[in-house]
Structure 1
Amino acid sequence: MSRRAIAAVAWLSLLFVLACSSALPPPPPDASQAKSSGAPARQPGPAADPGATLDDEVMVADGDPGPVPVTRADPARGSRLAPVTIVVFSDFECPFCKHLGGTLRQLEQRYGAERLRVVWKNFPLAFHKQARPTAEAAMAVFAHAGPRAFWAFHDAIFTADERLSPEVQATALRRAGVTPGQIPQLVQQSGAAQKVAADMALAGRLGVNGTPASFINGVLLVGAQPAERFAEIIDAQLAAAQALRAEGTPPEKIYAALAKKNFAPPAEEPDDADDEESDGGVVHLVPVGDSPVRGADTALVTMVLFSDYQCPFCRRVTPTVEKLRAQYGDKLRVVWKDHPLPFHPRAEPAAELAREARAQKGNDAFWQANDRLLASEAALDDAALEAVAADLRLNVNAVKRAVASHKHAAKIEADVDLADDLGAQGTPHFFINGRSLVGAQPIEKFQAIIDEEIAKAEAMVVAGTPRAKVYEAIQKQAVPPAPPPKVSVPPAPKGHPSKGAAAGKVVIQAFSDFQCPFCARAAATMDELIKAFPGKVRVVYRHLPLPFHPEAQLAAEAAMEALAQKGPAGFWKMHDLLFKVSDASNLDRAALEQHAASLGLDAARFAKALDEHTHRAAVEADAQAARSAGITGTPGFVINGYLVSGAQPLAKFKKVVRRALNEAN
């Protein structure tokens, strides 16, 4: 019997086990077992890798699989001995999963197949009508033609310009070497439907209730988070894996050991718990401010909506909000807060248009623009925005200037800052009298909370609270947002490289690694931050070369030698050269000597400093300062004591700097 037939038999046997329990699947059967099992062999198809062995092809798990098992039934990219495994529960119709697909490819390129493995698990959401059939087709492709065909299918869907449709799926199938007509038979023969069901059952046991959900060596990360957030966890896990290897743990046992250590079982909820309400009825401090409002100040319930004009779920929930307004009348008011997500490039221009409409013609014009922008068929390119402005009889030239100049950026940024304070990472996110409700939920979810809040508010009115003061009274009891975490880091030694205001009230200690591409991105953000706060911010560079970046240590020493020879200007020129391309080819010994020559450094002195590791102690002192503060990944920033991890957006840094400035004044 062929290896592919054996793989098919092993898959079907495994599916039965996975559907019944979370126990380790049986070992792959030999040919005689396969013949007696009665399981259908895979139909002939294009080989994913003609030279692949069975283990190469199916990524069999070794030993105890841990709480998030990876088995031969799971499509995977990367070595099964990789020290870090990301198991992602995903949905082919979810736009956030699509965005995460690009992020994962970026991470795979950064870390390489020997250090990072990405494993796919299916979690098609019920309201995505095409997601489950597509998941079953994907599993059939995997059974029929192997992992390369699966990933070709996967990548074709996630890189398509348009949303998932039968036409997009057909194109993806052809790219995988399968015709659409083959799929019904392949799904039936392969047990693909059972595999999807088993993945969904596992997701339930792990506490997954939305997509995407990623387990990084067992550490759960929910949503299409930035690559920097993944990298922060990956870097920590690489260090943990290295420690286990030093203790003698074999490579094939690393994943299970770390997943067991890191996995946090989902908290048990009472039977009547509302699993969509993330914080169990906690009332958050959510000021209305001068945001656009629909409804009377005397409404008993205030529903604050953080939304994004380019978000399909924000558009989907709009009819629900309108039904609620019609149902509750003057008992409900709706407050709009802008939260344009960074991967939606047209969301911020659309927000500028809506705010400019309000500036020109008042609150009613804002909501007219808002309705137009959230219509299901609405386009958001420049021409479409100008058409909306013209239809609303706005000053179109003024609208164009507002969009181009980001006229209303400060108010939009204030909303984004508030969302960050509240932990509202995605959109739409509602706060109903301060109580959190996440996502485009069914109307019944909203009604349940609103009805409870109306009852509470009516009791407050009977007790003497004026209707117009109900929300204010509720907010007085709200939980304020937690400040950013603080750490204690000693100041850098005198003469350490810095830029910006020498006497700035805000000092940012930037712990960085020259082989880290996210550090390069964050370095550019630091330059923007200095410009945003002229005369107020100083950035001090501190070294944190990570142990799994082999060229980072010597690169750090080279930068310090540039400082020794040419002062701060020499250091920053070397810094820019090292970050120009953050990979080994730009950081090896030959490249470092080329950089030194281009800066006019003394070549013999430079070579001696590297050979004798003249600056190793200084670099290690920085790294030790970071470790003492609990900073293990890069980039890490300490802003007057406040810790910000990762290459965060500029808005995040600006918010922390403003807090630090207020405290310093």
Structure 2
Amino acid sequence: MDRRSPAPARMADGGRRTADRIPTEGRDLSGMMDPMRSAALALALALAGCGGETCPDTVEPVSVSAGSETPHVTVTLPSESRAPAPPGEVERYRVPRDYAPTRGPLDAPVTLVAFVDFECPFCKRAQATLDALEERYAGRLRVVFRHYPLPFHQGARPAAEAAMEAYAQGGDAAFWRFHDLLFAESPNRFDRDTLLRIGRAAQLDVTALERALEQGTHRSAVEGDVALAQRLGVSGTPSFFLNGRMLSGAQPVARFAEVIDDELARAERLVEGGVAPAALYATLTWRGHGVDPDRVPDDGDAGDPAPPPPRRARRVPDPDAVYRVPLDGPLPQRGPDDALVTIVSFSDFQCPFCSRVLPTLEQVAQRYGQDVRLVWMNNPLPFHQQARPAANAALEAFAQRGDAAFWDMHDRIFANQRTLSPDFLEQQARELGLDAAAVRRAVDQDTHAATIDAQQRLARSLGASGTPNFFINGRNLRGAQPFAAFEALIDEELAKARQRVAQGTARAQVYEETIRDGATSPQTIEQGAPAARNRPDPDQVYTLAVPADAPRRGGRRPEVVIQEFADFQCPFCNRVQPTLESLLQEFGGRVQLVWRDYPLPFHQNAHEAAEAAREVRRQAGDEAFWRYHGLLFANPRDLERPKLLDYARQIGGVNVRRLERALEQDRHAQAVDDDMQAVRDAGARIGTPSFFIGRRGSDQVRLLQGAQPIEAFRTAIQRALDESP
């Protein structure tokens, strides 16, 4: 995020936009710390200064009537010219969430961004409301904190800077600890001694805190939040944006709940339409009001909008792509292990579309008999509160008494989707003759969390974010499709499977053989383009040179070079790392591994992690890069910028301030993009991880895709060794 203080916003014709005069008579300001609530003339002067960095365009005189309880204050606030929301839509704002303290899951369907002043009594009052909302919407609400210290609260800005130092020292946990202690102290003034005392109580490095306050280390971050608030038209505190919808003041829980419930319903429809949960916020807010923080008009710029970028062709899922959907561990299934066609169903027990497709699946079972099996995997969506407990109940039934008990529980759950309370689930277990107490424990304690989480990660990695999603011998079919859609795909895969059997593949091995080289990330084509009917030929040779400056390890003068294209948030890239270590040990100096970046677009922190790793290498060399690489793969869920900086501190030898500047300036962004472009220029279509393997000194390589077993790598390496240098 650009932290520069913006120039005053202007209308497209170069004139200054003036807010309407807002009389405070008859207006309920009790729940909001508004500048108009203070002594009118002093406030107007204070707003005009606003810290000397960002100020309203003009401050008009204050008129105070004799005996008037609320003076009229007219202030011009920076604001963009806004068109009303289209009919049927709500008004939204683009409010960035990055580089700010956060609570709640990254893929929560509702994001609440709060602009807060630590000395504002209404902000303090709102904290109890936020706590209640976080409890009520646990797992479905993400809270993002942004600073808006008002100019007449003298201690609010130092408090904000101190809170950001807490964030720098210990991430989200330290920030919220310090935040709570500040509000416990409010409404006392926050002088230097008070902030240091609170820092000690929050277990901060007080020496570093004092230095940060003296040097203004976090002043630009706070000023950036203030500038953002003003661009969005925020005029007082607290102010909130719920998925971009503005709500001002310390409103009651019911008012927030009204908006949140509406947003959850909208999110559910989007996810069921194929939008990934992690992409909901961007999908909902990208058309909202906002000012591009990277384009701040200067004094000679009238602020005319830049021409829109050329529209890219829409990309849609490739219907013929085959995905690797492994069947790890015992899984509930209907049908024999040696069925020629395997249907993996990612489903949610509260999803109405998952319920709607059940008769179709029964029709499939009757039509194809022993040739088809259905395998169940869980993907409880975050806004279906009972879906995860129901998944635990069904998995516990499976753990106790196998497939029959699972499907009995499955059928009862879907027959009663609106009444999935823990008591109901326990009663169904009792009626089915299960250990009902164990089922209740599973529901209450999330006993099968590891299984559910792993299946959800797999679904997300394959782009199967909504429910239901089916993979038919690895080919994706989305939604509650009619029988004809299943029939067409099953018949096609059945013919291929019978051909494999005729060529000597055992029936029980057909599924694994079919998906062995399958994609491990979403495969798309331009809308209207022909789908790829076959996977890339394993004999195809690509031209892909090894960059001279890429990170590498293994032999210094190897016979074979493996270029690994990977993503630090990709679970399959993580999974294959021990295999690569074993290869380097096994082949000694004959093999060299070269790292190439290929961050996938739906892994929101992967690109910046790749940039950070490049800067670490630039400063400290290959050895530091590989240590940093190990830390990133050890913490794939914690790759926000503060964490990236912290990992750099842990490995030593890295100037963290220079690293942060490199990230702010996107110093290595083009280099990362160049790696991705190199694959496209070679004519390859890949997911992650992908490996291009060839002889040293040659740019002729062959492709091995996915987190393959070590035997597949041995075969590919030996093939390269057998070829003439």
Regarding TM over 0.5, the answer is no
Give the structure with the higher percent helix: 1
TM-score (norm 1): 0.44
Q: Normalized against structure 2, the TM-score is what? A: 0.41
Structure showing greater Rg: 2
